[in-house]
Amino acid sequence: MFDLPVKTKLQRTHANNFRKLLIDLGWSREQYSVYVRYVPTGMSVAPEIKQVRDQIPNLGKVEVLAITDRQWSKALRFFNAQEESPLSAPDLLTLF
């Protein structure tokens, strides 16, 4: 999750570059400033987190939150005021 300044052209460029980095690392957009990535249990994400940390624009706020498969699967999801059916567990290379 992130909140990056976008008032100037340079700030917008930095914010867009940060979004592109996340996509290049295999993250997908859940909401405008919320990106998610499935990581199977036991895999280390430390190298990717370091890449993300190194590319955070100045004045930006970034939060990384890890949740388990079980927690993700128990989340309630609504679309157009209707509850969506639970998502199936992703395959190893599937993003959600």
pTM of the predicted structure, to 2 decimals: 0.74
User: Which sign, positive or negative, has the C-alpha torsion 48, 62, 93, 23?
Assistant: negative
Which DSSP helix (H) or strand (E) runs through 36?
strand 34-36
Can you tell me the mean pLDDT for 70-91?
Answer: 77
pLDDT digits (tens, 9 = 90+) for 40-76: 766 677 888 888 999 998 888 999 888 877 787 788 8
Sketch the domain layout of the chain as residue ranges. Answer: 2-66
pLDDT digits (tens, 9 = 90+) for 10-35: 999 999 999 999 999 889 998 889 99
Checking if the pLDDT of 95 tops 80, the result is no
